[in-house]
Chains A and B, each alone.
Chain A
């Protein structure tokens, strides 16, 4: 069975702080894909990143970076110098095929000025 755990329910930071959102996944498949989505208060799920199980390179996109470690089944997301606009719920998700995304329970990030 596939499972995604986001242990942090809610995180509060002050603007310009760095913050890391944790994601731990479980699967027996050797080929799988991991995703992060952002859901602002407006409701739309915004795609941030897709990573396959064979690519363990860390990725950086502006203030966002992702750390994928197969040894610990983790795919953590760091926001550097957080901004108020980063306030949202962030979902980590796993897809092992057949069009089914398994979502974690989400982490609510609140960035205050």
Chain B
């Protein structure tokens, strides 16, 4: 069962709000990812957690704060976002035994975020 779930499906927030995106996988994968995708563009990597530790931060602004409470859960905390942060946020997971791994990444359905 290659399933990654994400909540909420849609989110509208103001620039002063604080909200969180949630991602869950039950495939026993050890790496989890956050991607941002703008319309008509490919996904852009934001963060990678490997064995519950942050292994990659692609110079993402601090208004995005990731958290990995356990190996199955990944959160993205949002605070003081800008309208240009409106996008589809995708979560993914992969088996990844080591940081050099090139295992398949399985994606969730995404959260469509609109910042007003």
Contacts and interface: CB of A to CB of B under 8 A. Distances in A.
B110 A106 contact: no
A91 B105 CA distance: 13
Given A32-B102, A45-B43, A47-B2, A99 B96 contact: yes
Contacts of A91: 42-43
Interface in A86-113: 91, 95-101, 103-106
B29 to A, nearest CB: 12
Contacts, number: 58
A44 B110 contact: yes
Give the interface SS of chain A, mostly helix, strand, loop or mixed. Answer: loop
B70 interface: no
A95 B43 CA distance: 14
Interface range on chain A (Cβ under 8 Å from partner): 20 to 34
A64 interface: no
Interface of B: 2, 31, 33, 40-43, 45, 48, 50, 55-56, 88, 90, 92, 94, 96, 99-102, 104-110, 112
Interface of A: 32-33, 35, 37, 42-47, 50, 91, 95-101, 103-106
Q: Sorted from nearest, which 8 A-B pairs have the closest CB atoms? A: A103-B42, A45-B107, A44-B109, A95-B102, A43-B110, A33-B102, A97-B100, A50-B104
